[in-house]
Chain A
Amino acid sequence: MRPAFTSARRARALLGTFVEIEARGISRRGLDAAIEEAFHVVAEVQRLMSPCDPASDVSRLNREAAARTVTVHPWTHEVLAAALELQVATDGLFDIGVAPPGRPVPRSTRPAIELMDRRRVRFLRRDFSIDLGGIAKGFAVDRAALTLHARDVPQGVVNAGGDVAVFGVDESTIAIRHPRHPGSILCRLELRNEALASSSGRIDLFESSAVMAPAIIDPRTGTPARAVLGATVRASTCMVADALTKVVMLGGERVAALLAHYGASALFLANDGELRITRDWWGRVRLAA
């Protein structure tokens, strides 16, 4: 960070993980206020989209939208619209639909959700609910970065447990953790005005240093993804990167054209131990070792 600027790095427990904001600004007071507002935005996304909060838009939809139309916050509407578009584009590999326990979601490229005018939403099937866990974190990161930018913060990184957005003129280095060896780095990447997200397991560090199995469920079979150990996607927005990591986890090499459609790059570690990197990204990935 350049000495002429003041800089700050903060972390808060949000979205089930640690959201970290690192930013540079002209004045200390302005920077503190901008970071505070960015965290507030992330907390707002959590309040709207957490399935654990009974008052969230997601909980309200899951309780009521099969019976009547439900009006949601513009941000929830925006995330739902993006999710439905991704569902169609990925031929159902990305799906926010959740089936009752034990049953796979009937795979469909025709979403079971209807978005109506004035931010109203209804479900077209009973016995159906949604989970925005695969996309809302990326959306929150984008919103936080936009908030900082709108507050005249010239340079910053927002990192929500590996969902990262980088903005400003300078590059930032992001290290990718090895999906099997969490203390090791698989590779490093330089990012500037773009976003990156990864999918692999969760890590607790309280009981153990082991990475827990990924929670990505294949909507076609109702079983967890196994062929890919971990995937990382670069895209222009973190929301798209976040969603596409799940698609790479499930589709592996077959999704290259889809990545190109979204202007995204990807790498993934297959369970044969080989790393696959999209051709456009190959030159930018710095392998550890």
Chain B
Amino acid sequence: MSPSMPSDWIRVVVPAAIVMSVAPPGYATRYLTVDEAQHLAFPAATQFVEAHVVFRPSDVAAIERLSGQKVRSRGQQVWRAQADGRLLGFFIVDYVIGKHLVIDYSVALETDGRIKAVEVLEYREPHGGEITSHSWLEQFVGKTSRDPVTLDRDIRNISGATLSSQHVTEGVKRILAFYETCLH
């Protein structure tokens, strides 16, 4: 590595306005609808039969013990993927919620509980009743002269600080424990 001349770099003073510059954190995005994710995971399915499994206290204890994750909901939405009445697998929609981010995701399971697919359905900001803290996205929306639609189309890909996916990984563990406890 030979020493280089300073002139190899252009120095730029970052405009003060940049801090006010408007951008969503990059992840208020819809990837798939529930319906699309279902058919992607089970293309042969002719029917998705929806059920809402209400947890008994013993279910909560078992899921928490098996997964090491806290159960925050009272039950779990689950679909049976079927073809002509035959069970192909299970399709579960779940979400993980944080201070500044909610991630909706789906888990498709084989009939024996093996993971078939995990898809992120949507990233979004926690809204209304979900969380009471000051809206984080709001800080960045509405301070722009740009059309928000243009903004959304423009900023599809972001590079920079890496967004952690740890919470989804933990959520999937909880879903597998839910299968063992309630669907197995």
Contacts and interface: CB of A to CB of B under 8 A. Distances in A.
Given A16-B165, A177-B160, A205 B25 contact: yes
A177 B136 contact: no
Q: Majority SS of interface residues in chain B?
A: mixed
A22 B156 contact: yes
Contacts of B118: 12-13
Given A91-B1, A186-B14, A274-B12, A12 B157 contact: no
Interface residues of B, number: 60
A21 to B, nearest CB: 10
A133 to B, nearest CB: 11
Interface stretch (B15-23, B51-59, B70-78, B80-88): B15-23
B26 to A, nearest CB: 7
A111 interface: no
B158 A177 contact: yes
Q: How large is the interface on A (under 10, 10 to 19, 20 to 34, 35 or more residues)?
A: 35 or more
B13 interface: yes
Given A204-B98, A207-B99, A257-B1, A17 B163 contact: yes
Contacts of B19: 178, 181, 184
Contacts of A20: 157
B158 A9 contact: no
A220 interface: no
Given A208-B99, A289-B18, A274 B13 contact: yes
16 contacts: A10-B120, A12-B120, A13-B118, A13-B172, A22-B157, A161-B163, A162-B158, A177-B160, A178-B18, A179-B161, A200-B160, A201-B161, A203-B164, A204-B166, A230-B161, A287-B18
Interface of B: 1-15, 17-27, 29, 31-32, 40, 96, 98-101, 105, 118-120, 123, 136, 139-140, 154-169, 172
